[in-house]
């Protein structure tokens, strides 16, 4: 009887793990994420970032790990990208 209970518990844990994996995958694929904003907002030159800032309706640029991003700061960029 003890091994039957253990097998039932293991099957339940496996099912719960699959549900968590499915929910995580859905969120990664369908919800906005800051990394996606970075992919849309990284430019090699300040001029490119300035042009994108004008398109987004924000002012200024800032650097992030050696690349240029539109808007004066990152929070403003994320706000503008969500409104797009």
Same domain, 26 and 37: no
Same domain, 16 and 2: yes
The predicted model scores a pTM of 0.53
For the segment 47-73, what is each residue's pLDDT rounded down to a tens digit? Answer: 999 999 999 999 999 999 999 999 999
Burial 7-46 (b: 16+ CB within 10 A, else e): eeeeeeeeeeeeeeeeeeeeeeeeeeeeeebbeebbbeee
Same domain, 84 and 60: yes
Same domain, 43 and 71: yes
Same domain, 1 and 27: yes
Same domain, 2 and 37: no
Residue 84 in this model has a pLDDT that exceeds 80? no
Task: Specify the pLDDT at position 38.
Answer: 54
Same domain, 79 and 41: yes
Same domain, 45 and 81: yes
Domain count, the chain: 2
């Amino acid at each position: 009887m003890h091994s039957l209970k253990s097998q039932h518990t293991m099957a339940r844990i496996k099912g719960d793990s699959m549900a968590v994996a499915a929910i995580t995958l859905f969120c990664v694929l369908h919800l906005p994420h800051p990394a996606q904003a970075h992919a849309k907002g990284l430019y090699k030159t300040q001029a490119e970032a300035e042009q994108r800032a004008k398109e987004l309706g924000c002012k200024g640029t800032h650097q992030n790990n050696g690349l240029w991003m539109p808007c004066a700061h990152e929070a403003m960029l994320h706000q503008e990208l969500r409104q797009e």
